[in-house]
Structures are given as C-alpha cells and as structure tokens.
Amino acid sequence: MLCPKCQQIGTRVIDSRQSEDGRTIRRRRVCESCEFRFTTFERLEQPPLVVIKRSGVREAFNRKKLLQGLIRSAEKRPITLERLEQVVQEVEHQIRQSGEGEMETAQIGDLVMERLALIDDVAYIRFASVYRQFTDRTMFIQELERMEASKKHDEN
C-alpha cells in the first residue's frame, strides 16, 4: 500500500474492523517509513449488472430507475420508502444470485410484481399496467381476474 504522505510503498495494518453493514472492512495502517497513520476501506467489488431491454439494447442496471417506478406505483398507498427500497434490494440480490450478470426487463418486472403482489394490490396493478403495457381496460380486467384467481388458489 502506498503511503499518502511520503509515497513510499510499505505499510502495515494495525487494526481491522468490519463496518456496521458488514460490506466493508475498515483498516488502520501505519507507514513503515514515516510512521504516518491513515485509514483505508476494503469493499468487495461486484461486477456490473446488465439489463436487456425489450428492444434488445443492453444497459446497466439502475436501482434508482427501478425505485422511481416503484414509488410511482405506490403513490398515495400505505407503503414506506424503506419497504420499496427493500424490494429493489431483494430484486438486485436475486439478479446477482442468478449468476448470469444480465437479465431481461421482463424477468426483472416479474420479480418486482411477485413482491408487490404480497405488499399492496393497488401498487401491483399500477406497476403491472406500465410493465405489461396495458392498452385498454380489458387488459386491466384480465389482470384483476388473474389476481383474484391466484388469491383464491392461495387460500385453498
């Protein structure tokens, strides 16, 4: 490790601690040349996630974009921002767990809708209307009927 003060190579770790979130390690170091003390943070580097859009275009996964869509679908609903952020985190985690590093928007939408269906019916139907590109009321009715059938199946 290069000393930030004297630019010499050669430091030693004098203390290591895991951060509160468990995702980084804080290390106190001392330069072996000038004895300057400094702190570094070590974090696991994760490969970027790629989203394959309907058009076939690939772009980087954007958590903020997904969260904004969820916020719009949950507008004026009794869903906390923390809960919506948790949905984004769960979806991102599931994409990473797939091992592929890329996923089609249709699959991501399905993952989101699975979670929204358990949280709030209105937010679910709002999200579905954009995600599935409802063009008329019959599509809304079909989705509502599918939801009702699913709920009856789950109750039995």
User: 73, 52, 49, 72: which is closest to 61 by C-alpha?
Assistant: 49
State the pTM of this model: 0.68
How many C-beta atoms lie closer than 10 Å to residue 74's C-beta?
Answer: 23
pLDDT 10s digits, 42-90: 888 788 899 999 999 999 999 999 999 999 999 999 999 999 999 999 9
Residues 40, 101: Cα–Cα separation, whole Å: 28
Higher per-residue confidence, 57 vs 141: 57
pLDDT 10s digits, 104-138: 999 999 999 999 999 999 999 999 888 888 888 88
**Residue 24 pLDDT level (bands cut at 50, 70, 90):** confident
